[in-house]
Amino acid sequence: MPVVYRCSRCGFPLYIFARVGQSSYGLQTPSEIIYAHGGRCPRCGKPLEPPRLDRIRIEFNVANAARRLYEETRRVHVPLTSLALHLQNVLSEAGEEATA
């Protein structure tokens, strides 16, 4: 299941971890994401801070979450070709399960 770090103000995807093997370092921590962006959201400029437990959201409907994530990456023109291929596979598998 993909892990997405977003700006709490504008919703910009700061980091997307699509699958195991995407990076040799694994999933980045919130502090690493904050450091990588210089402490501010690149879209709206809001100061980034570590997430609070009440703001973490877990989505169980993987197909809808993957579809929204795929649409957003296309909308913001993020060059995530491996993510796009992975999400297309997830969506096609979810479509096959829905028709079965």
pTM: 0.56
B/e letters for 69-87, b = 16+ CB within 10 Å, e = fewer, are bbebbeeeeeebeebbebb
pLDDT tens for each residue of 33-54: 999 999 999 999 999 998 888 8
**Residues in Cβ contact with 74 at an 8 Å cutoff, skipping those fewer than 6 apart:** 84
Domain ranges of the chain: 3-99
The mean pLDDT value of the chain amounts to 77
